[in-house]
Structure formats: structure tokens, C-alpha cells
Structure 1
Amino acid sequence: MIDVRRGADRYTGGDRAAGITTRHAFSFGEHYDPDNLRFGPLLACNEESLAAGAGFDEHPHSHTEIVTWVVGGELTHRDSTGAVSLVRPGDVQHFGAGSGARHVERNDGPVALRFVQTWLAPLTAPQSLPPSYTLVKGIADSTPYAVPAAGAVLHVRRPGAGERVAVPTAPRVYVHVVRGDLRLDGEELGPGDSARITDEKDLELVAGSPGELLIWELP
């Protein structure tokens, strides 16, 4: 089954007065949708926009694996594991909250910051997981990034016009289009669109223009 969700239908939240805009793909915070709580372990896929100088002050998380992909600008990250990082386009940031951790996310740069943040639920009880932090600089298309705690694997793909991208064969696959125009099984996908794929084989994405995709292979 292929369930296409349009970026235009995302719920828009955040605090615009503070320079924060968030577009949610799933039920989140004040936006409660009982029919759209999760897709396998995937709990959230938020498109975040932070104006220069804006950010999220220190706040807690637990029992959540948080993976961040910067689209434009630079993200300043600080957390209670002691990690302090500047995350740029092409980097994969993974913050495992474990049994409990705190972090700060800010745009300390002079230009607007855009990033996609995915939240996943771990497979084991939170009390058994210590907090963790990983930053992969400049990840290549051919290098998958595994999130073992959630049994998930992230594939970053940047196809050129006319190129084909094989969709992993897995019980569930989540595709998020960062940029570009693509076609999946007759459906046209554009920036902000996503596809939730269940029990499908031999699927391909065909790029109509140069694109960038986040593809999650899920249990």
C-alpha cells in the first residue's frame, strides 16, 4: 500500500512571533489527530523554519530518537550529554534522549534556518537506554545511517533529473521529499510531500528534476 500525504496538508504550528514555524506530518502537541499518531516507530516528521536569532530554549525529551537534517542555514545544538555542535546541510544529527535528556536548538546564524526533524520511538523501555549524541558530517548517498534503538535506517538520496531511486524493501518505508519533483508508482511528489509505504516490493522513485530525499526503512 502507498499512502501519499501532501505538504500543503501539513498542520502549521510553532510561534511565528518568535520566528518559529513548524509544519507537522503527524499528530503533534496542540494538534491532536487520533488517526495520524505514528507510522511504525516514526512519531513525527517536522519541517522547521527558524528566523535568525530564533530557537528552542532548553527542554526535555525521553524515550525518543531524534534525527535532524538541515536544508538551509546552520543549526546550533547543545545538550545534557555535553555535546555542542553546529549542524550544516549534508550532516545527519542523531540525539537519543534515552531515559531522559535536555537540549537547546537555535539559529545563531545571520540567515533563516530550515531543517527536517524526525522522531522515532525506541524498541526497548526508556529506562534501559542512556542518552547519546552522534553527528555525521557530509553523509554520502551510498552511506545509510542506522538508528538501532528504533530498528530504523535512514537513506539520503540526491538524484539528478531522470535518475531512478530504488525504494528499500521493508515492512514499512517512509519517504520525505526535501526538494525536487519525483514520480512514485504514477503519483507526482514535490517538496514537503511524503509517502507511507507498507509491504511493497520493487518500487522506484523517478526524478523529474534534481532532488533530495529522506527515505526511512522501518520495521
Structure 2
Amino acid sequence: MTAPTTPHVDIHRAGDRLKTRIAWLDSKHSFSFGQHYDPDNTHHGMLMVNNDDIVSPGQGFETHPHRDMEIVTWVLRGSLVHQDSIGHSGVIYPGLAQRMTAGSGILHSEKNDAWRLPGSPHAEHAEPVRFVQMWVLPDESGITPGYEQLEIDDELMRGGLVPVASGMRKHKGQSAIGIANSNAALYVARMRAGDTVQLPEAPYLHLFVAQGEVALEGAGILSEGDAVRFTATGGQRLSAAQPAEVLVWEMHARLGG
């Protein structure tokens, strides 16, 4: 495909996101999702879903199917239980990266009920879980389903942008969990007050402020829930006047071309 040549920075504010609210779920969607469809807002680069979800204790998503999607889940608060049809079961919590390859087909559930697992040390609690779930298409359809999770809290504590999930060759051998997309990588920065990080340069970037507040060079203040879509630009600096956590996708291709 031909890389984009016109630099563009598109800021999307938290309050403008599409929303799904039911008794046990408060979900905010950066892109079209479920019954919310906007033909002008279906993806950016390779990223199709960026859902910011809060799930009540003892509740969650019952077993449901996925196919041909790389699904990365990042927990910000609380814990989330994953169980799937190929035998994986795990508790996801802040600082633990998780990826599910849906491939030729998989069933899974996600619930805020870690205390119900056999032998679990977790006591029943009343804390909602908040997590961001992100979907990118794989390079090939019909691949073998899979699952991976990895504790990367130590890397995050060192500061800077940490590769969390990647299919790019440059991250081979690093701590990032693998995804089956050779043109995409997710970074996370857990920033302390006074910290500064520099964004990568790529044809497509997606920045999501998961927690706190940051200042983006050339654009000003970004608050929790704000997102920025970069096209044909990058290298800007982010600075934090207060503790913050940001998620950044670097992408070298886009859907449909």
C-alpha cells in the first residue's frame, strides 16, 4: 500500500465516545461497536476496537464467539477472569498483558469474579474492574486460536514507552506478547509527575489516555478517556504533570489498503 503523505492529528475527546450502559456494564467505544455504527468511524490504521469497560463485581461477558481477530486486554483497576474453549483460564490484573488469538474460531468469557476460581486466593470483593480491550485484524485468516499472558509490571516501573503486544520484527526477543499482525505494536507508559515520553514515528498512531492527564506537544492537554489519531506523523512528546497511563498503537498499514 502507499503510505499516507499528509500529516494529520485528530483529537477525540472522552465525552464524544459512543456509550453502552446496562445494569452491570459501563462501556465507552472509540470506534463503531455493536449497535453503535458510524460509517465514518470504523477504525484507525489496523485498530478496529478500543473499548473502555467497567464491569460490576460478579458480572461480566458470558461465553461468546470470536473469529479472525487479535484481541488485547489491558486491565487498569481490579481483576478480570478469562476462560476459553481451548482450555485457558487466567486472572488478568494491572501490569499483566493478555492476548487472545481468535483465529479459526474460539469461545470465551470475561468476568469480574476471580474469587470463584477453584483454589483462588482472591476473596470476594465489591470492586468494579476497569479494562481497555483492543482488536486488530491478523495478517492471515483461519490461523490456530491461541492465548498468551505475561507480567510486565517491572518494565513499566522503569518508565518510558514499553512494548506490550507486538507482531513487529523489531520487538522480537523483548517482553512484548506476540500478536499475529506484523504491522502493529502496542506500547504502554505508566508516567509519574514530571515524566516525558516521545511517541514513535509511523504512518498511523493511536494514543489513548487511560488514566490521568498529559500534555501533547503541539496540541495541549489531554484528559482521561481522550484519544488522538495520528496520520503520517509522530515523534511528538508527551509530558505528565500528574501520574498518568497512556496506551499507544504504532501501525504501518491500515485496513482496506
- CA-CA distance at 1:208 after TM superposition: 1.9
Match of 2:146 in 1: 132
SS at match of 2:40: coil
CA shift for structure 1 position 153: 1.0
Structure 2: unaligned runs, 5 residues or longer: 1-7, 115-124, 168-179, 253-257
Q: Give the whole-Å Cα distance in 2 for the aligned partners of 1:160 and 1:143.
A: 14
Which of the residues 204, 209, 217 maps onto 2:237?
A: 204
The code of the aligned residue for 2:207 comes to V
Aligned ranges for residues 77-116 of structure 1 at < 5 Å?
Answer: 77-109=82-114, 110=125, 111-116=127-132
Moved over 3 A (4+): none
Identity of aligned residues (%): 39
Are the aligned partners of 2:45 and 2:205 in contact in 1 as well (CA < 8 Å)? no
Residues 19-77 of structure 1: CA distance to partner in whole angstroms, max 9, x if unpaired? 11211000011000000001111001001111011111100001111101111111000
User: Which protein has the larger Cα radius of gyration, Structure 1 or Structure 2?
Assistant: 2
1:118 aligns with 2:145: no
Matched with 2:30 is 25
Is contact 1:41-1:122 (8 Å) kept? no
Could you state the TM-score of these two structures normalised by the residue count of structure 1?
Answer: 0.94
**Among 21, 34, 54, which residue is 2:59 paired with?**
54
Higher mean Cα deviation, 20-29 or 142-151? 142-151
Of the three residues 13, 16, 26, the one matched with 1:9 is: 16
Note if 1:166 corresponds to 2:171. no
Task: Compute the displacement of 1:136 (Å).
Answer: 1.0
Aligned-pair distance for 1:138?
3.2
Cα distance in 1 between the residues matched to 2:247 and 2:162: 12
Aligned to 1:34: 39
Shift of the 103–36 alpha-carbon distance from structure 1 to 2, 3 Å rule, reads same
1:163-203 Cα offsets, whole Å, 9 max, x none, are 21100111111111111111112321011111111111431
Q: Distance in 1 between matches of 2:222 and 2:91?
A: 31
- Cα distance in 1 for partners of 2:244, 2:189 equals 8
Tell me the SS of whatever aligns to 2:191: coil
On the 8 A contact 1:154/1:216 being kept in 2, the answer is yes
Q: State how far apart, in whole Å, the 2-side matches of 1:103 and 1:33 are.
A: 27
Partner secondary structure for residue 144 of structure 1? strand
Which residue matches 1:73? 78
Q: Is residue 177–residue 190 contact of structure 1 (8 Å, CA) maintained in 2?
A: yes
Amino acid at match of 1:202: G
Judge conservation of contact 1:180–1:208 (CA < 8 Å) in 2: no
Answer with 51-60 or 139-148: which moved more.
139-148
- 5+ residue gaps in structure 1? none
Q: CA deviation at 1:146?
A: 3.6
Return the TM-score normalized by structure 2. Answer: 0.80
